[in-house]
Structure 1
Amino acid sequence: MSGRVGALLIHGLGGTQYDLGSMHKILAKAGVETHAITLAGHGTTPEDLAGVRAEQWIDAVVAQYRELQPQYDQLHIMGMCMGALVALVLAERVQHGPAQGKLVTLAPPIYIDGWSTPWYAALRKLFYFIPGLATRMKVEEGEPFGIKNTLVRAVVKAKFERGDNFHYRWVPLICVKQVDRLRGWAMAGAKNIKASALVVHAREDELTSLRSAEFLREQIADTRVVVLENSYHMICVDNDRDQVANSVLEFFGYPPQEVRVRRRERAAAAAPE
């Protein structure tokens, strides 16, 4: 592929760039210049999410996109989980099209209806209207931490217990309201997206079912869907991470990466640094 190519990578709720596993390194090795963004309320403490609105996330990525886009022959947009929703809204807002680059959504939670979703999740919208309650309520990050691979899950659990700042252990319920707003914007605007889109989604995703991938397939004119058979939600660090990486590389027009064979090397490469 000729010309200068970049990619804007967007993390998930409560996360950091490590939500995307080794994607930054893999793309850089292929010749893609990657750019990470830390969304408002992230990288500090979970309490800082309480006062953040979805508009702040969108405004930040739109500003970074507009700054980067003139520097590249192609600038791809990629998001993981909530970052996928942000990526969808961004692509629609800036009219990101084939001439500008491509769009990748990894485990996009268009619907929050995965197999581990608690029965009371549908009641969260009622909690939003009770003054102060949604700010005080905590949504805990518990096992399986979105990870099917038991070795990687153990590494992530140990990092949580040590207090490593790679992902929040909990988020205030009030910020889930902002994710719900993002979901609404993404659903409403998906039909207007002109860029070629890749949706990568695990069949066993515990947060969001394959309905999300099917919705985007139906709404975005040029969409390819890859279904993973051996992962949960955190697909960039789980069992199918090599398939995720190679699907993205192929979508961008690059050859696949060399797949590591040794189990310990694979686990070390997948675990958040």
Structure 2
Amino acid sequence: MSVRTGALLIHGLGGTQFDLGSMHKVLQRAGVETHAVTLPGHGSQPEDLVPVSYEDWLDTVTASYRELAPQYDTFHVMGMCLGSLLALALCERVQHSKGKLVTLAPPVFIDGWSTPWYRQLRHLVYCIPGMASRMKVEEDEPFGIKNATVRAIVKAKFARGDNFHYRWVPLACIRQVDRLRKKVLAGAQRITCPTLVVHAREDELTSLKSAEFLQAALPDVRVVVLENSYHMICIDNDREQVTNSVLEFFGYPPVPPRRVRGADKA
């Protein structure tokens, strides 16, 4: 009887599976059956995020996990950005032990180089009734991407109105991310499964402090630091290093190296 391996992949805030680049395809080629989940409030329009809580997101990924995990001998959990926070919270909630956990660019702390000095003032805005629902947090350059060619592609997608990522999210949604971050900070030490953390040194949203926290809090953790990417690590200059780090962590051979189009060191 064949051994089945599956994986649940969770996208980022305002995003889609595009956030994970070629991860689904790469894992499927290695023999892993991948499953995508669309988080509540996503896949339609940004306004739909206003009433959504982090509990809604977590309940959705938990339901997917509980449906899928029993079908496999080994079942992994992976998330990108917000998805990585949800993956952490999920693995704590279900005491995941059927496979491994991968967190890609986990924003345990929102303290990257592009976050403004007044970022903490958002907590005051949360206290003003209705304000967080009306305020928009825009996606803007560099769009989390260091590679100039890929960044231009993403900019063109936004200009065309392609439905691959929201152009903005309500501040109310950031409040839910902040609530989820607190949950992860409080519960990370209760996660027991082997964990991989992949984080860019130059991540403009979240500094290496996030990776360092997880390295200290989790009992079985491996950290990979990328040297030539911003936040969207699955589609940026180090994307092959990201996929190969995941493949190695899961026990599969790496994909052959190839020249990265448009890679830049600037």
Q: What's the TM-score once normalised by structure 2's chain length?
A: 0.97
The equivalent position to 1:125 in structure 2, one of 114, 123, 126, is 123
The equivalent position to 2:191 in structure 1, one of 193, 196, 201, is 193
The equivalent position to 2:142 in structure 1, one of 138, 141, 144, is 144
1:26 alignment partner AA: V
1:17 alignment partner AA: Q
User: Structure 1 vs Structure 2: percent identity of aligned residues?
Assistant: 72
Q: 2:224 maps to what in 1?
A: 226
Indicate the RMSD between aligned Cα atoms, in angstroms.
1.2
The equivalent position to 1:238 in structure 2, one of 236, 239, 254, is 236
Listed one character per residue, the Cα deviations across residues 156-186 of structure 1 (whole Å, up to 9, x for unaligned) are: 0000010000000000000100000110111
Q: 1:64 maps to what in 2?
A: 64
- The Cα of 1:262 is off from its aligned counterpart by 6.2
Please tell me whether the aligned partners of residues 13 and 81 of structure 2 are also in contact (alpha carbons under 8 angstroms): yes
Q: Gaps (5+ residues) in structure 2?
A: none
Listed one character per residue, the Cα deviations across residues 198-249 of structure 1 (whole Å, up to 9, x for unaligned) are: 0000000000000000000000000000000000000000000000000000
Q: Structure 2: how far apart are the matches of 1:74 and 1:171?
A: 35
Q: 2:7 maps to what in 1?
A: 7
1:259 matched to 2:253? The reply is: no
- The Cα of 1:119 is off from its aligned counterpart by 1.5
Q: Structure 2: how far apart are the matches of 1:171 and 1:49?
A: 7
Q: 1:1-273 residue pairs with structure 2 within 5 A?
A: 3-97=3-97, 100-261=98-259, 263=261
1:70 alignment partner AA: P
Q: Gaps (5+ residues) in structure 1?
A: 267-273
2:179 alignment partner AA: R
Q: What's the TM-score once normalised by structure 1's chain length?
A: 0.95
Q: Structure 2: how far apart are the matches of 1:78 and 1:262?
A: 24
Q: Structure 2: how far apart are the matches of 1:262 and 1:107?
A: 21
1:242 alignment partner AA: E
Listed one character per residue, the Cα deviations across residues 182-203 of structure 1 (whole Å, up to 9, x for unaligned) are: 1011111110001000000000
Listed one character per residue, the Cα deviations across residues 69-94 of structure 1 (whole Å, up to 9, x for unaligned) are: 11001110000000000000000000
Q: Structure 2: how far apart are the matches of 1:190 and 1:83?
A: 15
Cα separation, partners in 2 of 1:17 and 1:262, compared to 1, 3 Å:
closer
- The Cα of 1:259 is off from its aligned counterpart by 2.2
Q: Structure 1: how far apart are the matches of 2:157 and 2:132?
A: 27
- The Cα of 1:258 is off from its aligned counterpart by 1.7
SS of 2:254's equivalent in the other structure is: coil
1:221 alignment partner AA: P
